[in-house]
Amino acid sequence: MAKAGGRAQKKVDHLAALANLLGEDSANPAHLFEHGLALLMERLRADRALLTRVAGLGHEVFWWASADESAMRRIFEHPEQGYCPWVMAHPERPLVVRDATLTPLWRDSPAWRELGIRAYAGVALRNGDKVVGTLCVQHGEAQAFGRGGLALLKALGHLFSKTLEAEHLKQELQATRDALELSSAVVQDSALQSSRSSLPNRRYLDIWLRATVFLARRRDERMALVLWSQPMERGLKARMQALSDALRGEDLLVEAATDQYLLLMPHTTPDGAGILLARVREALGTHPAGGTLWDPKDEDLALRQALHRAHRAMTEARNQGAPLVWHMAQVPVTGP
């Protein structure tokens, strides 16, 4: 009886904690997830309660509560084998599996065979109209889910969705602030501009990357980079400035080093970059150039690896007498 009483006391604590959080002007998402998942485990008598999402490398668990942490290892390693991908593919209604061994659809599934999840209840998490993850509870034994428990699961799923959406908006706003601060800094600080070419310099690029590359990684958008070298000659400064002013709003042309120029083209493929490079050659002439794609899933935010590839590709283009060489995944490709 003492154990049951302790369980009831925890329920009260978590409900009170959630009520206090929701009464604050700005709820702490970490505390909200912690108390919400603990409440689900108690009310639905679950072995685990999880929040999952789709990241660059696939499904992942990003918040959890578990009665046995050792059992989480397989879940962490293979979340795509569970029921959550099915929930995301059918977000219009919750998925309730009371006993996988008695359900033809799930009795031979890896969720039961590999991960040992015999009972499951989950709902989709949304960011606006987009499905971004799941909230679920899992059991190693058969479980009868009551109507009240499932109603709590749905309610917390809606609450967590709104919380994640708010956090996403905060990050978008911060990125926008960074971009606005960057624009303001350009006006106020001549140290961000090259006196030789009047183009943004490497210091400007470092600031620009904070906003642009962060968003590219969140949206899984690749960025094309092209690097070339040409000496400063009469009239080139004016042509460089005119070209920079004519670029798309998201593109950036910088003076990477003396007589060396870097064109960055967010969410652009090599084919798309080729169209823009034709305009660059028309304005500046043809010079051996090296191109690459920065992959937000696997590469650093400072573009060090991508810039190294672009340098190597530019050297190869110069040695081959080619107008452009793309260097991606260690495979050089001569371009138009």
Q: What is the pLDDT of residues 229-260, one digit of tens each?
A: 998 888 898 998 888 888 777 788 999 999 89
Mean pLDDT of the region 83-107: 94
Tell me the C-alpha distance between 98 and 143, whole Å. Answer: 5
Instruction: Examine domains 2-171 and 193-335 and report if their fold is the same.
Output: no
- Topology classification of domain 2-171: Beta-Lactamase (3.30.450)
3-class secondary-structure state, position 327: strand
Q: Write down the pLDDT at residue 25.
A: 44
Q: Write down the pLDDT at residue 2.
A: 29
- By CB atoms closer than 10 A (0-12, 13-18, 19+), residue 203 is middle
Name the more confident of 108 and 167: 108
pLDDT above 90: percentage of residues in the chain: 35
Q: Determine phi and psi for 156, rounding to 5 degrees.
A: -70, -35
Q: In sequence order, which residues have a C-beta less than 8 Å from that of residue 221 and are 6 or more positions away?
A: 215, 266, 267, 296
Cβ-contact 329, 292 below 8 angstroms = no
What is the pTM (predicted TM-score) of this model? Answer: 0.50
pLDDT in tens, 1-44: 223 333 333 444 555 655 665 555 446 788 888 888 988 998 89
Task: Please name every residue paired with 106 in a beta bridge, in sequence order, or none if there are none.
Answer: none
* Domain boundary assignment for the chain: 2-171, 193-335
- Topology classification of domain 193-335: Alpha-Beta Plaits (3.30.70)
Q: Which two tokens stand for residue 135?
A: 């909230």
Provide the phi-psi class of 45: left if phi over 0, else alpha when psi is between -120 and 50, else beta.
Answer: left
